[in-house]
Amino acid sequence: LPQEFELARPVLQTIEAAGYEAYFVGGSVRDTILGKSIHDVDIATSAYPEEVKRLFKRTVDTGIEHGTVMILDHGTGYETTTFRSESTYTDYRRPDQVTFVRSLAEDLKRRDFTINALAMKENGEVIDLFDGLADLAAKQLRAVGDPEQRFHEDALRMMRAVRFASQLDFTIVPETLEAIADHASLLEKIAVERTQVELLKLLQGQAPKRGLAAFMTTGLWQYCPEFVGHRASLKDLSERLEAGLSSETAAWTLLTTQFSLATSQIGTFLKAWKTANQMITDVQATTTAARLLLERDLLAWEVYQCGADRLAIANEVAVILGAADREPLLATQWTELPIHSKKELAVTGRDLMQAGVQPGPQLGADLKTLEQQVVRGELPNDAPTLIAAIQ
Ligand code: ATP
Ligand code: MG
């Protein structure tokens, strides 16, 4: 058992000692069997939330209406969810009601894919009711139960399928893939924020080609905001994207650059995806730089304006889209800049006013000129020279 499970064993043992069942479930079980590192340990139990809370000193009601209580133990939080069955779905999103049940089998049945429907006992024994182990070994994603019904119940599962295909480098079995193709349009019912999470994970996964190929063939792409009209660009990406992007900013930049979006269109595009405003600012800068890198080396002023972190992202994206890798050159250009921000300029607005420049728009323009000249190496960064230059 991995260290994370060893540490959590006493939590399961406490629940079991009180006469309930408790198991490790979800991604942590899947990833442990795959030999991957795990991030969070999820627990499923037959105990009702109030019963769980009675057993532990420190708990937090993180989602008590769906049966989830976080148990705090030695500085770690364990999301512990009561076994539940999800009955009728009318809006393709959320079950109309969550029913707590005492049976593990009921709980596993409502999970999305067989590889996500495994449970593990405190002693490491695996409960595998849907042949998830066989699918793990065959590197396959298969919906639990009737795929048509499962995607009809919750359309987000279709995006999860293509996301896992990329993250795990798994194939989606034909029956499941066909059901996604048949229900792709239901993705429109899902909140963009949730679709966004899956798209970004897909683009950052280890086999994005695979995830994107499924995203394209099933038609899911057509039901994503602002993707209409970009079929050829997306198809091209699905053929060239050998490795996952290193960050969310890089993932967005890849799309905006590949879609040839102008700076103002990037705002519209990312707003449709409901990203944070900071993301829009970042992606506008990285896209501008990536586009230049596809054409030529950057000038000192362009390097300065973009900044080291954004340059790395722009270069990553430009390389994917066929540019030469300029990472070493950009790193040198950045290091060799005489200044790295306006704060490092040897004069301030106040210095210029003391030297006789009138306050007003001209002052700002003068400062900008000096900043550019220093960055380009046309003037040394020392106060007397800069003041003399302005006078
Ligand atoms: P990750 O490594 O990204 O956390 P995960 O499989 O743990 O992957 P979560 O979103 O954390 O994914 O969900 C935990 C578990 O809950 C899943 O493994 C699956 O069993 C179940 N689950 C999550 N979302 C759904 C869904 N939309 N429909 C059915 N089951 C789901
Ligand atoms: Mg998880």
Q: Which of 22, 28, 23 is nearest to 40 (CA)?
A: 28
Distance (Å, rounded) from C-alpha 277 to C-alpha 279? 5
163 lines ligand 1 (CB under 6 A): no
What mean pLDDT comes out for the span 2-12?
95
| CATH of region 343-390, choose from 1.10.287.470, 3.40.50.1820, 3.30.70.870, 1.10.246.80 | 1.10.246.80
Provide, rounded to the nearest whole percent, the portion of the chain with pLDDT above 70. 98
Q: Do 42 and 25 meet the contact criterion of CB atoms below 8 Å apart? A: yes
Q: Do 291 and 253 meet the contact criterion of CB atoms below 8 Å apart? A: no
* 154, pLDDT greater than 70: yes
111 lines ligand 1 (CB under 6 A): yes
**Topology (CATH) of 145-238:** Hydrophobic Seed Protein (1.10.110)
Residue appearing with tokens 């037959």: 46
Would you kindly state where each structural domain of the chain is located, as residue ranges?
1-138, 145-238, 245-337, 343-390
* Chain segment 110-122, per-residue pLDDT in tens: 999 999 999 999 9
* Chain segment 292-310, per-residue pLDDT in tens: 999 999 999 999 999 999 9
Q: What is the CATH number of domain 1-138?
A: 3.30.460.10
* 197, pLDDT greater than 80: yes
Residue 154, annotated as binding a ligand? yes
Residue appearing with tokens 């002023």: 301
What mean pLDDT comes out for the span 166-177?
98
CATH class of 245-337: mainly alpha
Going by CA atoms, what residue is nearest to atom 14 of ligand 1? 26
pLDDT score for 114: 98
Q: Do 228 and 262 meet the contact criterion of CB atoms below 8 Å apart? A: no
The per-residue pLDDT of the chain, averaged, comes to 96
Burial 321-332 (b: 16+ CB within 10 A, else e): bebeebeeebee
Best of 68, 82, 112 for a ligand 1 pocket test (most atoms within 8 Å of beta carbon): 112
pLDDT score for 127: 98
Residue 157, annotated as binding a ligand? yes
Q: Tell me the pairing of strands 76-82 and 42-45.
A: parallel
Q: Which of 131, 104, 134 is nearest to 119 (CA)?
A: 104
Residue 9, annotated as binding a ligand? no
* Chain segment 57-84, per-residue pLDDT in tens: 999 999 998 999 999 999 999 999 999 9
What token pair was written down for 115? 């590889």
